[in-house]
Amino acid sequence: MAEKKARLTIDGESIDLPVYSPSVGPDVVDVARLISLGYFTYDPGYLSTVSCESAITYIDGDAGILRHRGYSIEQLAEHSNFLEVCYLLLYGKLPTDEEFSNFQSAIQLEQTIEDYLISVLSGFSRDAHPMGIMCSLVGAMSAHYHNEIDITDIENRHKTAIRLIAKIPILAAMTLRHIRNQEFIMPDPNRGYGENFLHMMFSENDSSPISSVLARAMDRIFLLHADHEQNASTSTVRLVGSTDANPYACIASGIAALWGPSHGGANEAVLQMLKEIGDRSKISEYLERAKDPSDPRRIMGFGHRVYKNYDPRAKVLQETYREVLDSLDIESDPTLQMAQDLEKVALNDEYFVERRLYPNVDFYSGIILKALGIPTSMFTVIFVVGRTPGWIAQWNEMISHGYKIGRPRQMYTGDVIRDYPLK
């Protein structure tokens, strides 16, 4: 029962609405009763709207805080690894050594790619966009597993999570090798998750060595992308899941939503933007166009619906980037130089300062992925691999805690009623 109440008065009539307090963050006003009094709430883009309860990820946009199950992203990035964070997101606690080993073995058992997926992949041209391919491959998984799905069974839900975490990086690497017309390299059970991904993408043969620094950087990039509360793609997964849909279809819908350049597609768009700017001397000119409301250009990788401070993930990525450059013995990278100059100019520009626009996770991720030799068209696929555990953990949390079908209303502004003209 809510202790606090909010009183809303409209045309002299007052209604009391319950106010709930979360474990941390702003109080929420429960407006569900408004419909019974003939009112809707209006919040396009959901700036002030809470869609669900969740215990997985907490973000404080003003303070630049990101925590998974209470653990800060800085500590997880420093001391944990991607698979352990997958376990944390799914099961709500850090695993014991035995639990982690069993989790790892369960994933390894599922690191197989069936012929139907290879047939779907082989149907794509070499210039097909990898994100469209990934939508199709995970969609194909929904068709393949449909008859054995029981979303009411917790073990069945966890099996789905394991399968997705196991297979999606392999499908991602195979997608790159398909568009490059290369033989597929399957995962090596003796390599870690990040190392295996680079191995499957770039190795010439099964025994090619992978640098431990680059493997750690890849693992950390996945970790930093693992979950992010109710962002557009996670909200999409929850909305599709609220119809009791096939969970693989829910994840395919999340991939589609992530593709947009305003969301996960921004990492690819950052590199395209830097290429369009072309030269450091052109940064100010581009910035003026990005500030012009009549110009569709934006500083890609800048701004965030929630963070009105530096995205904590961007800070960790900057450190990771340094490690990658040092490991690759790259003194200075013109793309990085351009990005750093752009960031410096933007952070000192009144327009960005007063709107509290800072670099987000996508601003630096693209530059690191480029340094790792990953083609730009694959950048958002890397985001998919990282975000899959977050999507499936959020879906599982919704299914296991009870939910209603998501069905927003609208403010109708069309013709009220018209008679069909009789001829």
Catalytically annotated residues: 263, 304, 362
d(CA 370, CA 363): 12
CA distances from 378 to 174, 259, 355, 423 (A): 11, 11, 31, 57
Q: Applying CB under 6 A, does 355 fall inside the site for ligand SDX?
A: yes
Q: Applying CB under 6 A, does 231 fall inside the site for ligand SDX?
A: yes
Query: Does residue 173 contact residue 222 with C-beta atoms inside 8 Å?
Result: no
Q: Kindly state the smallest distance separating residue 355's Cβ from ligand SDX, in Å.
A: 4
Q: Applying CB under 6 A, does 301 fall inside the site for ligand SDX?
A: yes
CB closer to ligand SDX out of 180 and 355: 355
Q: Applying CB under 6 A, does 228 fall inside the site for ligand SDX?
A: yes
CB closer to ligand SDX out of 140 and 273: 273
CB closer to ligand SDX out of 202 and 259: 259
Number of shown-chain residues binding ligand SDX (CB under 6 A)? 23
Q: Applying CB under 6 A, does 349 fall inside the site for ligand SDX?
A: no
Q: Kindly state the smallest distance separating residue 45's Cβ from ligand SDX, in Å.
A: 6
Q: Applying CB under 6 A, does 299 fall inside the site for ligand SDX?
A: yes
d(CA 85, CA 386): 10
First to last CA, the chain: 60
With vertex at residue 287, the alpha carbon angle to CA 283 and CA 291, rounded to the nearest 5 degrees, is 175
**Buried/exposed 35-65: b ≥16 CB within 10 Å, e otherwise:** eeeeeeeeeeeeeeebebebebbbbbeeebb
CB closer to ligand SDX out of 81 and 233: 233
* Contact pattern for ligand SDX over residues 262 through 281, marking x by CB under 6 A: xxx-x---------------
Query: Does residue 15 contact residue 33 with C-beta atoms inside 8 Å?
Result: yes
d(CA 357, CA 350): 10
Sole binder of ligand SDX in the list 54, 136, 253, 360 (CB under 6 A) = 360
Backbone angles phi, psi at 264, to 5 degrees: -65, -25
Residues that bind ligand SDX (CB under 6 A): 45, 228, 231, 262-264, 266, 290, 293, 298-306, 355, 357, 360-362
